[in-house]
Chains A and B, each alone.
Chain A
Amino acid sequence: MIDLLTSHYTYVLLFVLLGLGIYMVIASENLVKKLIGVNLFQTAIFLFFISMAYIEGGSAPIVPHEGVPGEVMVASPLPQVIVLTAIVVGIALTAVGLALIIRIYAEYGTLREDTLREVRADE
């Protein structure tokens, strides 16, 4: 068990982060914090991909100037490309989400979900 924790601690961290993120989405009444929770959730997945690709003693997957390809031990490049793409997707989502929150704040004057519910029920 201890052995697993020392060698695979990134995976443990991943699930802690996933849990924190989803908890923030569910429990926080503040809309911005909800969005931060979503971001945390996504970041945990990026970490998952990166730690999956990691090789002990491996270097960055860049083609070296000299040396024969295949001699250098590198981390797998595919998950890193995936993470780069997923980060871009995440940024776009955050931007759209924040824009919507700004609109909601301008209309209702609140960022809290419980207040928002009351305001909408009154109308």
Chain B
Amino acid sequence: MSSIDLLLPLLIAVPIITATLPIALGLRYDRTGWSVAALTTTGLLAGALALASVVYTDGPVSHTLGGYPIEYGIQLVADEFSTLITLLVTTVATGVLAYTRRGGPRGNTFYTAYLLLVAGLLGISLTGDVFNLFVFLEITSIATYALVASGDGPEAAVASLQYLILGTVAASMYLIGVAFVFMATGTLNMIELADAIPAAERPVLIRAGFAFIVVGFAVKVAQWPLHTWQPSAYQRAPDGVTPLIAALVSTASAYAFGRVIVTVFGVDYLAAMPNAASIVVTVGCVSVLAGTILAVIQTEVKRMLAYSSVSQFGLVIAAYGVVIAGSSETALIGAIVHLVGHGLLKAGLFLAAAVVATSYGARTVDEYAGLARERPFVAGSMAVLLLVLVGVPPGVGFVGKWYIALGAVQSELWPVAAVIFLSTMLTLAYAARLLEKMYFTPPLSVGSADAPGSIATDGGTADADDGFAGTSTHGNATPDAVSIGMIAIVVGFALAAVALGFAGGTFADLLEPFITEVFN
């Protein structure tokens, strides 16, 4: 075992420290940011892989910061669940960083915010303390606000401020929940809480705490009707940033929510709590339906994919509800697989959208017409990713949905099973729209593609920013801006999404020790 546990604090501290370097070195040298970020991210990926090799062979690793006892100290824990999220974060971060070398955004401030974001996400994955979780949630959020606001045009600032206000209130809600739970139990450590919560003298405090925590995470994970910050934030963020945010930020929050449900409160305790399961299931199912319906009516591709995230996270939350209601191991595996799978899919899809916007100048569904002929590799990857998102076997999207639906059926929660089936049909509706445009519609003429300022269906104006007005005609698009490497990254994500579909059983095997611990 030696000193492998030192990796945990290093995984969080190193990116925070190196985040200062791009700005500090930038005072003297111009182009150091990318090298610093690339070195750090590669190191983090290597660290995460080393950690995973230990966790999946020898079991969970934990580290107590500063040697303080866990009653009031902070503990970092890497178990089977959190290691999987750590791997996802480092992998996607590496892929997106490689993309930004050519695709942008560049600039030292971007790399600083990027490293802070990665640090926050790794912190969320690895912390074993509910208050520490709040701090990392906020570090992640602040870095995200800054990254969203760095988009072109003033609309990005408006989207970012909207996100900031909602996100801060949500995090505060979570903090109130933590305060209630702390009041009832007197501890903040997750493992200690797991024992202290069932023994608490005043369960009403725990119940109030859980209610606040659910509301807080419903905003952070972007569940209907608290999702309003998310589409604008995804749409207005710079093209190279959206994949990072879409794939990781809400995923980390959803992971944290799952962690709070299964480890802190415990499945049995929540099953006995009145209405807890039905509320979580309802929030999830309603988001699945509302998200897909809103996605179908969007005209902007990035906005459509953002609403698709609302519905996909709805599936994960609904799966958590099934876990509580039916004590379903299968649904928990499904939730975890779908969390990871969706992260990879959205990273790939938004990267593909970024490549298309850079090289082809297309941002709306109509402008994607004829893409397959002009950009066969990007269109092909996008088609594969969309089909995997729908849940066509053998993709990773199918595995996640299959486990969740199986869990719902085993627990005899027929409405959830019905919602999953229906959502697959609706996902096909918006995926097929894009596929039809790419493969079966001839390209638009140059003149008609230039129609900026079309109104988005949910009230915001689509594509009104000046920064890309120049590239919104196919004639002015710059195919040379896209390197083979950028396309290779997109293709890589598509292949990974399919390959992981064959690894469904491996997921279940890797997670087995964690699952047995939750349900014993």
A interface, CB within 8 angstroms of B? 18, 22, 25, 31, 34-35, 38, 41-42, 45, 48-49, 52, 78-79, 82, 85-86, 89, 92-93, 96-97, 99-101, 103-104, 107-108, 116, 120-121, 123
CB contacts (< 8 Å) of B7 on chain A: these are none
Q: Would you call A41 and B169 a contact (CB within 8 A)?
A: yes
B138 near A: Cβ within 8 Å?
yes
Does chain A have a CB within 8 A of B142?
Answer: yes
Docked-complex contact A103 and B142, CB < 8 angstroms = no
By a CB distance below 8 angstroms, the chain B residues around A31 are 161
- Is there an interface contact between B154 and A38, defined as CB atoms closer than 8 Å? no
Contacts of B142 in A (CB 8 A): 92-93, 96
Contacts A31-B161, A97-B161 known; 20 new A-B pairs at CB < 8 A: A18-B176, A22-B169, A35-B165, A38-B168, A38-B169, A45-B172, A52-B179, A92-B138, A97-B165, A97-B168, A100-B149, A100-B164, A101-B161, A103-B154, A104-B158, A104-B161, A120-B155, A120-B461, A120-B464, A123-B464
Question: Could you list 6 A-B pairs, sorted by A, with CB under 8 Å?
Answer: A45-B172, A78-B188, A93-B138, A108-B154, A116-B158, A120-B155
B491 sits at the interface (CB 8 A): no
Q: Is the CB of A79 within 8 A of B161?
A: no
Contact of A52 among B183, B188, B464 (CB under 8 A): B183
> Which chain A positions have C-beta within 8 A of B145?
96, 100
Flag if B165 contacts A38 (CB, 8 Å).
yes
Contact of A25 (CB < 8 Å), options: B138, B160, B169, B179:
B169
The 7 closest A-B pairs by CB, nearest first: A107-B154, A103-B157, A100-B161, A89-B138, A104-B157, A100-B157, A38-B168
Which residues of the partner chain A approach B182 to less than 8 Å between Cβ atoms? 52, 79
Q: How far is the CA of A41 from the CA of B175 in the complex (A)?
A: 11
Task: Number of B interface residues at 8 Å Cβ cutoff, please give it.
Answer: 30
User: CB < 8 Å: which of B158, B164, B461 contacts A93?
Assistant: B164
Interface residues of B (CB under 8 A from A): 72, 131, 134-135, 138, 141-142, 145-146, 149, 154-155, 157-158, 160-161, 164-165, 168-169, 172, 175-176, 179, 182-183, 188, 453, 461, 464
CA distance A100 to B142 in the complex (A): 12
**Chief secondary structure at chain B's binding surface:** helix
**A108 to nearest B CB, angstroms?**
6
Q: Which residues of B contact A104 (CB under 8 A)?
A: 154, 157-158, 161
User: Which of A35, A78, A100, A107 has the most chain B CB within a 10 Å cutoff?
Assistant: A100
Is A123 in contact with B165, judged by CB distance below 8 angstroms?
A: no
Using A45-B172, A78-B188 as known contacts, say yes or no to A100 and B464 having CB atoms under 8 A apart.
no
Whether A121 pairs with B461 at a CB distance below 8 angstroms is yes
User: CA separation between A41 and B176, bound complex, in Å?
Assistant: 10
Complex Cα–Cα for A115 and B127 (A):
43
Given A38-B168, A96-B142, A100-B149, answer yes or no on A107-B179 (Cβ-Cβ < 8 Å): no
- Measured in the bound complex, the distance between the Cα atoms of B168 and A35 in whole Å is 10
Known: A38-B168, A41-B169, A103-B149. A48 touches B179 (CB 8 A): yes
**Cβ–Cβ contact B154 & A45, under 8 A:** no
Docked complex Cα distance between A44 and B182 (Å): 16
Q: Are A123 and B453 in contact (CB under 8 A)?
A: yes
Q: Complex: how many Å from CA A99 to CA B188? A: 33
Q: Residue on A with the closest CB to B188?
A: A78
Find chain B residues with CB under 8 A from A18 CB. 176
- Residues of the B chain whose Cβ atoms lie less than 8 Å from the Cβ of A121: 461
* Chain B residues within an 8 Å CB radius of A79: 182
Inside 8 A of B461's CB, which chain A residues have their CB? 120-121, 123
Docked pose: A70 CA to B461 CA in angstroms: 64
Is A89 a contact of B188 with CB atoms below 8 Å?
no
* C-alpha spacing A76/B474, complex, angstroms: 65
* CB-defined contacts of A41 to chain B, threshold 8 Å: 169, 172
Looking at the complex, which one of B160, B165, B464 makes contact with A34 (CB distance below 8 Å)? Answer: B165
Q: For residue B180, which residue of chain A has the nearest CB?
A: A48
List chain B residues, Cβ under 8 A from A107. Answer: 154, 157
CA distance A25 to B134 in the complex (A): 21
B168 touches A93 (CB 8 A): yes
Whether A85 lies near B157 (C-beta < 8 A) is: no
Closest CB in chain A relative to B73 CB, distance in Å? 10
Q: Which residue of the partner chain A has the closest CB to B465?
A: A123
Residues on B with beta carbons closer than 8 Å to the beta carbon of A96: 142, 145-146, 164
Residues of B within 8 A of A92 (CB): 138, 142
Q: Measured between C-beta atoms, what is the minimum distance from B45 to chain A in Å?
A: 28
Alpha-carbon separation in the docked complex, A120 to B460 (Å):
8
List of A residues within 8 angstroms of B131 by Cβ: 82, 85
A50 CB to nearest chain B CB (Å): 11
**Cα A48 to Cα B222 with chains together (Å):** 27
